[in-house]
Amino acid sequence: MMTLLLIFALVGFMQSTYGFQPSSLITSRQSTVHSSTSLFDTATEVEENMKEQHGIFYNLILSKNKNVWKELSDPNAAGFTIFAPTDEAMESLGNKKLNQLVDDRNRETAEKIAEWHVVNEPVGAWDLITSGGVVTMGGTVDIGKSKVGGFLGFGGEEDGGVLVSGRKILESKQVDKVTIHVMDGLVSPDILWRYMDQLRIL
């Protein structure tokens, strides 16, 4: 009882002398917890974005390459760029190619396709326009400007869009240190599809 009275007396003294409020301890602690939980892991954030908005590309291609995710998890990296096709673009590949990507016997080729969609530095749309080409983890992809009108690729007027290996950037977004360009198709070389099913025993 005496100890409890001493505590109340001490709190009363601090309130009158320093304007101390017991609730300030709770507020301070809550703000500390909030600031620590607001820090997120880049790779985890990107992975969630891929699952939610580019599910087919993530499940069939990007998730299969462990080296890509190792790079994306590097805390010392300046940033990265991902060319991520929409689900509609992936569906347009057709059932044959989608089934090839599902088949685990084609995993190595899927891993190579994934590498062509990641750049080891942040590259914005404007940087792409002025580059002429960019080096991905898989190799160099050509950059161009999209056009409207014309005939069989000739003529037409530039519409301000950007092409990566002939595929158009639909929009660009930023997830922490990672720039994600939403694409209307895969940017990897078509020749990679020739390596699908090569190990099948008929």
Give residue-wise pLDDT tens across range 110-123. Answer: 999 999 999 999 99
In a domain, 28, yes or no: no
Determine the average pLDDT of the residues in 64-78. 88
Give residue-wise pLDDT tens across range 132-157. Answer: 799 999 999 999 988 775 555 565 66
Question: Domain containing 131: what range?
Answer: 41-195
* CB-based contact 188:118 (threshold 8 Å): no
In the predicted model, what is the mean pLDDT of the chain? 79
Distance CA(56)–CA(62), nearest Å, equals 9
Determine the average pLDDT of the residues in 63-86. 91
Unique residue bearing structure tokens 């190595």: 108
Distance CA(162)–CA(182), nearest Å, equals 11
Taking CA atoms, 2 is separated from 9, 42, 116, in Å, by: 11, 54, 73
In a domain, 35, yes or no: no
What integer pLDDT is reported at residue 42 of this predicted model?
76
CATH number at residue 50: 2.30.180.10
- Give the residue from 135, 118, 104, 96 showing the smallest Cα distance to 178: 118
Distance CA(92)–CA(5), nearest Å, equals 76
Determine the average pLDDT of the residues in 163-188. 95
Strands 80-85 and 157-164 turn out to be unpaired
What integer pLDDT is reported at residue 24 of this predicted model?
33
Determine the average pLDDT of the residues in 152-172. 80
Share of the chain above pLDDT 90, in %: 53
Determine the average pLDDT of the residues in 165-182. 93
- What residues form DSSP beta bridges with 145? 162
In a domain, 34, yes or no: no
In a domain, 16, yes or no: no
What integer pLDDT is reported at residue 116 of this predicted model?
98
In a domain, 25, yes or no: no
In a domain, 55, yes or no: yes
How many domains does the chain contain in total? Answer: 1
Indicate the SS3 state at residue 150. Answer: coil
In a domain, 68, yes or no: yes
Determine the average pLDDT of the residues in 124-133. 86
In a domain, 130, yes or no: yes
Determine the average pLDDT of the residues in 48-65. 96
